[in-house]
């Protein structure tokens, strides 16, 4: 898949040239950190608490929480996309949640500003081609061109008051980085689901059908 992807995007390179640049581990290489098996079906949606992106359950139970254990956290801003969570598949998730919300007659919750930032020009083009951008706008989501935005405290989506709460799919939430408010880090699915419920909410397919 990697070879195919690169062949479509790197003019003038042959398959052989692409393969010759791949890096592989040495024969018999030892992995000192051990080999870890992760059961993806056992992963539960979680957030990182405001102020520190570095830790989370189970590495530090003081920073990070399973959403089911979080209680009601009302939000003022939902920020989707960015370089980190603005890829093709992330946008497919945002569109899936947005479509489900629209089908249930919902738009972005009252009192919430929801932004979505394309990770690249190619993602923006894909979103337009697939009709996702139109879907987002219909739901009341504001579109932002690719670049470093609220993640570095620039442009729309930055909090202005200490008591504002943001849920965001960016990858850093050091205190003050994106304004004076409190910023929770979460997955694309959580960010978009929360935009429609108005509080930090884990996505599941029946979410809006129940509301």
Closest distance to ligand SF4 from the beta carbon of 68 (Å):
28
Closest distance to ligand SF4 from the beta carbon of 17 (Å):
29
Task: Mark residues 141-160: x for contact with ligand SF4 by CB under 6 A, - for none.
Answer: -------x--xx--------
Among positions 82, 133, 178, 201, the unique one binding ligand SF4 when judged by CB under 6 A: 82
> How far apart are the C-alpha atoms of 18 and 39, rounded to whole Å?
32
Under a CB-based contact definition with an 8 Å cutoff, are residues 63 and 52 in contact?
A: yes
Q: Which is nearer to ligand SF4, 51 or 198 (CB)?
A: 51
102 lies in the site for ligand SF4, by CB under 6 A: no
77-81 and 113-117 beta bridge pairing = parallel
Closest distance to ligand SF4 from the beta carbon of 79 (Å):
11
Stretch that binds ligand SF4, among 68-76, 77-85, 156-164, 179-187 (CB under 6 A): 77-85
């Amino acid at each position: 898949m990697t070879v195919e992807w690169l062949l479509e995007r790197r003019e003038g390179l042959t398959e052989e040239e692409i393969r010759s640049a791949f890096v592989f581990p040495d024969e018999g290489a030892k992995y000192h950190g051990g080999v870890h098996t992760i059961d993806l079906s056992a992963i539960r949606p979680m957030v990182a608490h405001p102020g520190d992106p570095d830790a989370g359950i189970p590495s530090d139970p003081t920073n990070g929480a399973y959403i089911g254990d979080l209680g009601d956290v009302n939000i003022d801003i939902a920020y989707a996309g960015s370089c980190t969570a603005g890829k093709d598949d992330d946008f497919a998730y945002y569109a899936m949640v947005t479509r489900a919300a629209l089908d249930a007659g919902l738009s972005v919750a009252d009192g919430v500003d929801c932004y979505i930032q394309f990770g690249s020009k190619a993602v923006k083009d894909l979103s337009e081609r697939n009709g996702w951008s139109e879907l987002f706008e219909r739901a009341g989501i504001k579109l932002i061109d690719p670049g470093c935005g609220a993640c570095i405290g620039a442009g729309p989506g930055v909090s202005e008051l200490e008591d504002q709460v943001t849920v965001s799919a960016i990858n850093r939430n050091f205190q003050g980085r994106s304004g004076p408010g409190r910023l929770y880090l979460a997955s694309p699915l959580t960010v978009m689901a929360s935009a429609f419920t108005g509080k930090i909410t884990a996505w599941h397919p029946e979410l809006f059908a129940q509301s």
